Amino acid sequence: MEKTFAIVCRPDALSRQIAGQIKEVLQAAGQQENNAEPDVVFVVGGDGTFLYAVHAYLEQWDRVFFYGIHTGTLGFYSDYRDQELSEFLDVYLSGKTREFSCPLIQVDSALGTQYAINEMRIENVARTQTIGISVNGEFFETFRGTGLCVSTQLGSTAYNRSLRGAVVQEGLNVLQMAEIAGIHHSKFLSLGSPLVMQGSSVLQLHAEDFSGAILGTDQDVQRLDKVHDVTVRISQQRHIRVLRGREVSYFHRLQSLF
């Protein structure tokens, strides 16, 4: 059993209370708090808190497990709600959790390499952004509009859903590209629909001018002013290891969204 832990919690009273209880129970069981190099990161809050925790410990992806409890509605990264704290901890301490692997989007550009668990996006609210799109080295189309969002299966219920992208069932290895306010008329045409691709697909996004545009990887944002090429794929090297304590139907999780 893992012996060290860290806790990442949403900054509200309930989440802090739950975090304090988790710490007390774990220490009583002989586990040690280690915020620098934990074996398990306990996440208390919502899916946004989970994303924050993942990015905080991303460089330790090959050794850290994430185990979440939701202090709101049921989330996609957690199996338990705050009122189920005792069961959440009992399952962990008894070693009955299962490992679940979450893919990461890898984004390569002149800015370096970034990773996202939900989505990457290019957005330009200052002016119309033109982007040449190639898939696996083959030119596909020229997009004009505010930008593009590329999501994983897990990320299909996040920003992608707000863009009227498809919600993708758990277990499918895919990349999905959705337009952000695309311009469509007789001179400027692009697909205009979300595109779901095999998880092995590689997207090449090119622009002569990305001035004013930002590159977002989950909640992290960087400016693209001097960048011309962005490559997007599902990482073959990195993934996130999540602990789950019980079977929760994907459609039950989905119902919590509406």
Residue 91: other Cβ atoms inside 10 A: 20
Amino acid found at 170? E
Q: Is 47 among the catalytic positions?
A: yes
Strand partners, 66: 41, 242
Token readout for 164 is 């009227």
Distances (CA, A) of 61 to 40, 66, 85, 124, 240: 11, 10, 26, 31, 6
DSSP per-residue codes, 171-229: T--EEEEEEEEE--SSS-----S-EEEETT--EEEE-S--TT-EEEETTEEEE-TT--E
Element (H, E) at 27: helix 13-28
End-to-end CA distance of the chain: 37
Strand partners, 220: 217
Residue 211: other Cβ atoms inside 10 A: 15
Q: Which of 12, 39, 47, 108 is catalytic?
A: 47
Quick check: helix, strand or coil at residue 164?
Answer: coil
List the catalytic residues: 47
